[in-house]
Chain A
Amino acid sequence: MARIIGGYFTSHVPAIGGAIVRGDQEEPYWKPFFDGFPPVREWLEAERPDVAVCFYNDHGLNFFLDKMPTFAVGAAHEYRNEDEGWGLPLFKSFAGHPDLSWHIIEQLVGDEFDVTTCQSMLVDHALSIPFELAYPDAQEWPLKLVPIAINTVQYPLPSAKRCLALGQAVHRALASWQGAEKIVVIGTGGLSHQLDGERAGFVNPDYDRFCMDSLAANPEAICVDSTKEIVRKSGSQGVEILNWIAARGALGAAPARETHRNYHIPISNTAAATMLLETA
């Protein structure tokens, strides 16, 4: 039977990609953030998951405003990264797991989530960078990918409550999957930050701490607020916490155990966090 080993959660700032390429991990500006990753690497090295289910948001690589899905599930054999237009390095491609993707899609639609299915899907830095951080020396990824994109760009956005429910439905799919794989869940984005408007540069450590404190044992607490209220508390891009909430849901209802946490302000304009939750 497949087993969900747990999940890691991390920020996904484009500048991190530049820092990786330049080898700036030990620079004073970057070290406090990169220091969040050795425990994640050690855990992955020990557990060796076969598949990653990754909740993220696209920044205008795969999706444009002509067609903007609220929830999109990848069902491709391969997921490529491509030029995002702002000088980022190109990251490695991922092998997909289409059978598991379709199993998840069946469950989600059965649970009345109207998802967009993508047999062709590019993945941007929001997805690539968390893998580059977790497997820094990999020539190719040692695990297959099921990407799930949540719209955090064009309002109306799905509510936090809905994203938690989406994750819980993904959990039901993983729990009923007959394969023997070990599965890791990943949530990327946030925490608090704002890139646009006169409030650019806004971060809110109190709200970030509340999110991190709630994530393992009481994710429902983060779901009380409307998405607009989350924006008020965490900045217009802090709403990427929706990816974390969905990923937490995919770990299942049983209490998860927080085994690692790292938090640092700022990386670029962002309050950057890394967390590791293990399932029982």
Chain B
Amino acid sequence: MTLAPDTPPPPGDSAPIFGTHLFDGCAAAKGYALNAMCFSFNEAANREAFLADEDAYCQRYGLSSEQLAAVRARNVLAMIEAGGNIYYLAKLAGIFGLNVQDVGAQQTGMSVDEFKAMLLAQGRKAGED
């Protein structure tokens, strides 16, 4: 079946979602090396090798210059822009001693305390304590 070129997308599917980067095929292809490196961090020996010589470890996985710069800068939004997927990036963040709230704070430009307070406030707003 061929869709007519003017077939509209399903309702709501065309509009971007603020601050949200859907990890589609393009991102998966672009981010493959970075995510593969992060996947390797399931093994403690690999985490230690990364910490011992970060640049050499990144080279081993063939990171692009964009990915290398993002990792060196510990910049999560730049890692996502370079094709990183958060489920895999979380393993890298763990090496740096960061949890998902630290990562959330960095991406939203808040302090970690502000980010945590924002989450708690959403609970209170919803009638939760």
- Least distance between A163 CB and chain B CB atoms (Å): 17
Contact with B along A1-18 (1 / 0, CB 8 A): 000000000000011000
Q: CB of B86 within 8 A of chain A?
A: yes
- Least distance between B29 CB and chain A CB atoms (Å): 9
Q: Are A228 and B12 in contact (CB under 8 A)?
A: yes
- Least distance between B74 CB and chain A CB atoms (Å): 15
Chain B's closest residue to A87 (CB) is B94
Q: Are B20 and A86 in contact (CB under 8 A)?
A: no
- Least distance between B34 CB and chain A CB atoms (Å): 10
Residues from 22 to 75 in B contacting A, C-beta threshold 8 Å: 22-25, 28, 32, 35-36, 38-39, 41-44, 47
Question: Roughly how many angstroms separate A64 CA and B47 CA in the complex, as a whole number?
Answer: 17
Question: Roughly how many angstroms separate A13 CA and B89 CA in the complex, as a whole number?
Answer: 16
Counted as pairs of residues, one from A and one from B, with CB atoms less than 8 Å apart, the total is 151
Q: Which of A65, A87, A200 contacts B107 (CB 8 A)?
A: A200
Majority secondary structure of chain A interface residues (helix, strand, loop or mixed): loop
Contact with B along A199-215 (1 / 0, CB 8 A): 11111010000000000
Q: Are B119 and A201 in contact (CB under 8 A)?
A: yes
Please, which residues of chain A bring their CB within 8 A of the CB of B82?
Answer: none
Stretch of A134-142, A170-178, A259-267 that contacts chain B: A259-267
Q: Are A201 and B42 in contact (CB under 8 A)?
A: no
Q: Are A269 and B119 in contact (CB under 8 A)?
A: yes
Q: CB of A23 within 8 A of chain B?
A: no
Q: Are A197 and B85 in contact (CB under 8 A)?
A: no
- Least distance between B120 CB and chain A CB atoms (Å): 7
Q: How many residues of A contact B (CB 8 A)?
A: 46
Chain B's closest residue to A85 (CB) is B91
Q: CB of A26 within 8 A of chain B?
A: no
Q: Are A65 and B115 in contact (CB under 8 A)?
A: no
Q: Which of B13, B42, B88 contacts A229 (CB 8 A)?
A: B13
Question: Roughly how many angstroms separate A235 CA and B18 CA in the complex, as a whole number?
Answer: 10
Q: CB of B101 within 8 A of chain A?
A: yes
Majority secondary structure of chain B interface residues (helix, strand, loop or mixed): helix
Chain A's closest residue to B47 (CB) is A85
Residues from 223 to 280 in A contacting B, C-beta threshold 8 Å: 225-226, 228-229, 231-232, 235-237, 263-266, 268-269, 271
Q: Are B19 and A198 in contact (CB under 8 A)?
A: yes
- Least distance between B116 CB and chain A CB atoms (Å): 8
The verdict on A195 contacting B100 (CB below 8 Å), with A84-B42, A85-B42, A265-B128 known, is: yes
Chain B's closest residue to A153 (CB) is B87
Q: Are B22 and A266 in contact (CB under 8 A)?
A: no
Could you show 14 A-B contacts with beta carbons less than 8 Å apart?
Answer: A64-B39, A65-B39, A85-B91, A86-B91, A155-B24, A196-B80, A198-B107, A199-B17, A205-B126, A231-B17, A231-B20, A236-B86, A268-B101, A269-B104
Closest CB pairs A-B (n = 5): A199-B19, A198-B19, A265-B123, A86-B94, A205-B126
| 11 other A-B residue contacts (CB within 8 Å) besides A66-B36, A236-B21 | A60-B91, A83-B42, A84-B91, A87-B94, A153-B87, A197-B20, A198-B108, A205-B122, A232-B12, A236-B20, A237-B86
